[in-house]
């Protein structure tokens, strides 16, 4: 019997964590947090000491906090076994965990683990998980992101998946029996090419009226795609040095990227202080906050928000117009997750018997659509699949 239990991530857009019992092994897929200051039960996966003791292995799909930052908590609960991930994810994950720790401390929250746990985690190269019958492939969500296929039980976990990345390469998903699929944009249809055009149009419109644009972006992933795309439109930019450094570093990661004419824009140093690109996407960093403060007083200026905004972040307050600043706010989602069309396409190509949709608050309609195809499906909070 195969059981996949969501300890977080289903019916919500964070703290992704799935407990798999495939009759041979007990495996945890990711262990993330919800980026909010709230109780342990709300922020961290629904783990117990018994579960931690039962685990044979943990698989980490990528470094983002909503997949990784619960790992020091798992350690606190007693887990001392291997955490398998790609080489870039291993290099990045501790930085994301420390970012989470800083966020909690800066906002008066409490940590349910000792910070020193971060250095004790036993990361192992994903190649070594082949002994457990685990295969992986690139998921094009960020540098180092992987999908996992548990070969004997035919469970496929997509991790966070992007089928439209401009710069990152992805590997075809295998056919499976159980599909645990990223459905972050389950309730939307998003045409990526149109979104990029809208981004360019927003910038040009603001410049034409004499304003400035603030584009807060993740310093990895879509932040680099957007920066190079705007340069390819002939626009000069004021780019935070770390984003530029990450773009240069990504270009050297030849095993993870695909050929694109956009890479030639790395050589283009046209500067314009009116288009300001800062990390991070939710404006929780000092540099993004300072840039926002400098621009917020004029309606000629625009802030463009392109991803998910967690509750309580400056990005969320701006997007929901809680601050009543004169600055114009544009929301232009750049896809780094599947929309409803991508999920259906994935289900049709993987031919699963059962599907678990995660990473979305609004996946019920899509879940019903999949059930109408004669496939067992779940998307409810803390839901489980038994096959």
**Which residue, 27, 67, 23, is CA-closest to 45?**
67
Binding mask 24-63 for Zn ion (x = CB under 5 A): ----------------------------------------
Interaction residues for Zn ion, span 160-189 (CB under 5 A): 160
Work out whether strand 17-21 and strand 57-59 pair parallel, antiparallel, or are unpaired. unpaired
Q: Return the exposure string of 339-355: e unless at least 16 CB atoms fall within 10 Å of the residue's CB, then b.
A: bbebbeebbeebebebb
Secondary structure class of 86 (helix, strand, coil): coil
Residue pair 65/97 in contact (Cβ under 8 Å)? The answer is: yes
Q: Quick one: CA dihedral 166, 170, 174, 178, positive or negative?
A: negative
Judged by CB, which is closer to Zn ion: 142, or 203?
142
Closest contact distance (angstroms) between CB of 299 and Zn ion is 33
CA dist 78 → 34, 155, 282, 322 (Å):
21, 26, 33, 42
Judged by CB, which is closer to Zn ion: 283, or 327?
283
Spell out where 10-89 has E strands: 17-21, 26-29, 57-59, 82-85
Interaction residues for Zn ion, span 241-270 (CB under 5 A): none
Closest contact distance (angstroms) between CB of 279 and Zn ion is 15
Closest contact distance (angstroms) between CB of 117 and Zn ion is 22
Judged by CB, which is closer to Zn ion: 278, or 337?
337
Closest contact distance (angstroms) between CB of 210 and Zn ion is 37
Closest contact distance (angstroms) between CB of 228 and Zn ion is 20
- The site that binds Zn ion (CB under 5 A) totals a number of residues, namely 2
Sheet holding 3-8, edge to edge: 122-125, 82-85, 57-59, 26-29, 17-21, 3-8, 384-386
Closest contact distance (angstroms) between CB of 221 and Zn ion is 8
Q: What number of H helices and E strands is found in the chain?
A: 13, 18
Judged by CB, which is closer to Zn ion: 161, or 340?
161
Interaction residues for Zn ion, span 57-96 (CB under 5 A): 64
Interaction residues for Zn ion, span 146-165 (CB under 5 A): 160
Interaction residues for Zn ion, span 94-113 (CB under 5 A): none
Closest contact distance (angstroms) between CB of 131 and Zn ion is 27
DSSP H helical ranges for 31-70: 40-43, 49-54, 65-68
Work out whether strand 178-182 and strand 155-157 pair parallel, antiparallel, or are unpaired. parallel
Judged by CB, which is closer to Zn ion: 180, or 295?
180
Closest contact distance (angstroms) between CB of 350 and Zn ion is 20
Please identify the residue of the shown chain whose CB is closest to the bound Zn ion.
64
Judged by CB, which is closer to Zn ion: 212, or 222?
222
Judged by CB, which is closer to Zn ion: 301, or 333?
333
Q: How far apart are CA 17 and CA 29, in angstroms?
A: 6
Judged by CB, which is closer to Zn ion: 160, or 265?
160
Under the rule (CB under 5 A), what is the footprint of Zn ion?
64, 160
């Amino acid at each position: 019997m195969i059981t996949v239990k969501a300890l977080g991530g289903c019916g919500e857009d964070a703290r992704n964590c799935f407990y798999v019992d495939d009759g041979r092994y007990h495996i945890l897929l990711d262990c993330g947090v919800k980026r909010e200051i709230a109780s342990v039960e709300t922020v961290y996966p629904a783990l117990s000491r018994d579960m931690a003791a039962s685990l044979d292995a943990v698989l980490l799909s990528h470094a983002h906090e909503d997949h990784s930052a619960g790992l020091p908590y798992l350690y606190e609960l007693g887990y001392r076994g291997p955490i398998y991930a790609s080489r870039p994810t291993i290099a990045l994950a501790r930085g994301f965990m420390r970012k989470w720790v800083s966020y909690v401390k800066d906002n008066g929250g409490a940590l349910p683990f000792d910070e020193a746990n971060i250095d004790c985690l036993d990361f192992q190269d994903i190649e070594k998980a082949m002994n457990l019958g685990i295969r992986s492939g690139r998921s094009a969500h960020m540098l180092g992101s992987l999908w996992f296929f548990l070969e004997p039980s035919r469970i496929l976990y997509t991790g966070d998946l992007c089928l439209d990345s401009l710069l990152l390469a992805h590997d075809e998903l295998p056919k499976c029996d159980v599909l645990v699929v990223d459905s972050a944009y389950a309730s939307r249809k998003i045409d990526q090419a149109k979104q990029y055009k809208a981004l360019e149009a927003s910038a040009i419109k603001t410049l034409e009226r004499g304003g400035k644009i603030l584009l807060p972006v993740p310093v990895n992933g879509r932040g680099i795609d957007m920066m190079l795309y705007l340069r390819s439109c002939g626009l000069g930019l004021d780019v935070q040095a770390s984003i530029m450094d990450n773009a240069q570093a990504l270009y050297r990661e030849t095993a993870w990227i695909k050929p694109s004419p956009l890479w030639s824009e790395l050589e283009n140093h046209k500067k314009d202080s009116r288009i300001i690109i800062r990390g991070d996407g939710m404006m929780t960093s000092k540099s993004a906050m300072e840039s926002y403060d400098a621009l917020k007083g004029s309606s000629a200026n625009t802030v463009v928000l392109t991803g998910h905004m967690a509750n309580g972040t400056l990005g969320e307050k701006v997007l929901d117009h809680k601050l009543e600043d004169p600055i114009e706010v544009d929301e232009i989602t750049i896809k780094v997750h599947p929309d409803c069309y991508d999920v259906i396409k994935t289900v049709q190509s993987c031919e699963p018997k059962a599907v678990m949709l995660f990473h979305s608050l609004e996946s019920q309609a899509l879940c019903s659509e999949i059930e109408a195809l004669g496939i067992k499906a779940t998307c409810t909070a803390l839901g489980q699949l038994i096959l």
